[in-house]
């Protein structure tokens, strides 16, 4: 692979934010163009890229951003930005194509939507029609262009996937529109990124559209059931009815899920079209990874590795939540967060934190903790009987009543992972930092990732007791540290 100078537009978005580190790992130099560059400042790769301010509808800024670039990735669209999103996208694509040609760019790469074979463009949804028009404008720009047409991209943060995730998790029984029986060919975000990186080396005489999809052709109904299986949910009962129009469907999606209505509406309108690959020619130019494209089950497993806000794996994968993903993306996560400064040294506070559990107790509501332990035992869980290995010191992997030490940074962080019977996954994080006055600040965060409707119901059932249990922990831990001193 020849190192290229690449421009990524849409680097603050879903695909762009994942493409940048993939290009860097492949040895390319990357420049990011963003209307608000500050949004990129805290990305892990920010120090390895050049960032320029600009809007793709601004010919001057676009031309400056494209200067000296070999490959330009066009990953912006105005979906959800108002009624005339198609007009905005049309103007932006023309500006980008003209400026790319003037700058001597050798290739444009664009990700559009997979369109149904044999359906006239005027009959497509406004969303798909606009995506097709943008691809055509870029192909006509005089710059060799690869238009990758994908249907549903499976990965945490993808709007289509988040609709699938939220609907399936929250509704064990669904009365749905007829579009749940529409066939679609989903593709894992991992494979989309691999192809995008590979397109930097396409021959100069290749300028065309490519269909991009995984190996499975399924209905949306089958996708929902596959998701339920991979997420450990009970089989979903799905009842399609003929009376829900795309407009009513989008209102329903907006009511049930956190996906914003202006974004959900054009996506839902597109679901009435069958979108299946007519060719797989891209594989002649960008060979598949070992093992080929991920199938639907594999793509879902990759997308479900992590929920946004939960303790991350050692190296986040493309399907994981990423910094900059919208707040509604990444799955459901409930949080109880508390913090208090204490007139004690961080060392004194840490001694109290590290003694938590076992015979030392949980610093609040002993009866409530005992009841929770008895209930866990009755349900077949481990209960509170395990205690702790050592009364003073902890290490990663230690059991701690019905918790397990998941992470430990001595003097700074203790993270516990719940091993009690729960309709979901839970963590308890205890942290210590020092404020400007030199006081220790105790932080406490309880995290709960629900599994299905029962998980959501569980959180709301126990949340009224959090002020008593978790609030008491904060008060008593900080009081004990202040009392013990150094």
Residues whose CB is less than 8 angstroms from the CB of residue 344 and which lie 6 or more positions away in sequence, other chains included:
439, 440, 478, 481, 482, 484, 485, 486
pLDDT in tens, 55-84: 999 999 999 999 999 999 999 886 655 567
Using pLDDT thresholds of 50, 70 and 90, give the confidence band for residue 381: confident
**Of the given ranges (16-20, 134-138, 315-319), which has the lowest mean pLDDT?**
315-319
Where is pLDDT greater, at 51 or 246?
51
Where is pLDDT greater, at 184 or 119?
184
Q: Please give the mean pLDDT across all residues of the chain.
A: 86
Average pLDDT score over residue span 296-307: 86
Average pLDDT score over residue span 184-196: 94
Using pLDDT thresholds of 50, 70 and 90, give the confidence band for residue 129: confident
**Of the given ranges (310-324, 367-381, 388-402, 416-430), which has the lowest mean pLDDT?**
310-324
Look-up of token digits 């540290």: 481
Closest CA to 17 of 334, 330, 333: 330
DSSP-derived 3-state class of residue 416:
strand
Closest CA to 422 of 398, 460, 448, 388: 448
Q: Got the DSSP string for 203-267? A: -TT--EEEEE--S--EEHHHHHHHHHHHTTPPPPEEEE-TT--HHHHHHHHHHHSSS-HHHHHHH
Q: Which two tokens stand for residue 266?
A: 């054009």
How many other CB atoms are there within 10 angstroms of residue 132's CB atom?
19
The per-residue pLDDT for 427 is 92
The per-residue pLDDT for 122 is 76
* Domains within the chain, CATH numbers bracketed: 5-303 (3.40.50.720), 334-484 (3.30.530.20)
- Residue 199 in this model has a pLDDT that exceeds 90: yes
Quote the CA–CA distance of 305 and 428 in Å, as a whole number: 19
Look-up of token digits 């943060």: 157
Contact call for residues 330 and 321 (beta carbons, < 8 A): yes
The per-residue pLDDT for 252 is 66
- Residue 384 in this model has a pLDDT that exceeds 90: no
DSSP-derived 3-state class of residue 19:
helix
């Amino acid at each position: 692979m020849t190192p290229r100078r690449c421009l990524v537009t849409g680097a603050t978005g879903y695909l762009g934010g994942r493409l940048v580190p993939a290009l860097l790992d492949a040895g390319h130099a990357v420049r990011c163009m963003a209307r608000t560059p500050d949004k990129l400042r805290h990305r892990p790769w920010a120090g390895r890229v050049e960032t320029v301010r600009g809007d793709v509808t601004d010919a001057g800024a676009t031309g400056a951003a494209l200067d000296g670039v070999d490959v330009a990735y066009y990953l912006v669209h105005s979906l959800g930005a108002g009624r005339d999103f198609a007009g905005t996208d049309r103007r932006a694509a023309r500006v980008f194509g003209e400026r790319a040609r003037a700058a001597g760019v050798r290739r444009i790469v664009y990700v559009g939507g997979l369109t149904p074979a044999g359906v006239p463009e005027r009959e497509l949804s406004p969303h798909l029609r606009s995506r097709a028009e943008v691809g055509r404008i870029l192909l006509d720009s005089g710059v060799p262009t690869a238009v990758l047409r994908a249907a549903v991209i499976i990965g945490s943060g993808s709007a289509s996937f988040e609709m699938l995730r939220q609907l399936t998790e929250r509704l064990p029984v669904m009365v749905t529109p007829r579009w749940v029986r529409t066939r679609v060919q989903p593709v894992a975000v991992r494979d989309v990124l691999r192809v995008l990186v590979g397109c930097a080396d396409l021959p100069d005489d290749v300028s065309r559209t490519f269909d991009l999809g995984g190996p499975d052709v399924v209905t949306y109904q089958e996708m929902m059931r596959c998701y339920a299986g991979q997420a450990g949910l009970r089989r979903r009962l799905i009842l399609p009815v003929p009376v829900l129009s795309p407009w009513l469907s989008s209102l329903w999606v907006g009511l049930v899920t956190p996906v914003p209505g202006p974004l959900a509406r054009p996506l839902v309108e597109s679901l009435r079209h069958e979108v299946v690959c007519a060719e797989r020619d891209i594989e002649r130019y960008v060979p598949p990874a070992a093992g080929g494209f991920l199938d639907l089950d594999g793509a879902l497993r990759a997308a479900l590795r992590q929920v946004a806000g939960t303790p991350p794996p050692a190296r986040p994968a493309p399907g994981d939540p990423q910094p900059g993903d919208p707040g509604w993306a990444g799955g459901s996560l409930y949080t109880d967060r508390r913090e208090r400064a204490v007139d004690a040294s961080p060392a004194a506070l840490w001694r109290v934190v590290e003694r938590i559990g076992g015979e030392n107790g949980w610093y609040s509501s002993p009866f409530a903790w005992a009841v929770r332990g008895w209930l866990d035992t009755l349900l077949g869980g481990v209960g509170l009987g395990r205690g702790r290995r050592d009364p003073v010191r902890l290490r990663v992997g230690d059991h701690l009543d019905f918790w397990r030490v998941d992470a430990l940074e001595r003097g700074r962080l203790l993270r516990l992972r719940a091993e009690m019977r729960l309709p979901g996954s839970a963590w308890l994080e205890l942290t210590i930092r020092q404020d400007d006055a030199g006081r220790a600040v105790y932080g406490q965060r309880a995290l709960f990732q629900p599994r299905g409707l029962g998980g959501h119901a569980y959180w709301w059932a126990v949340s009224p007791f959090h002020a008593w249990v978790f609030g008491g922990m904060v008060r008593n831990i900080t009081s004990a540290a202040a009392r013990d001193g150094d």
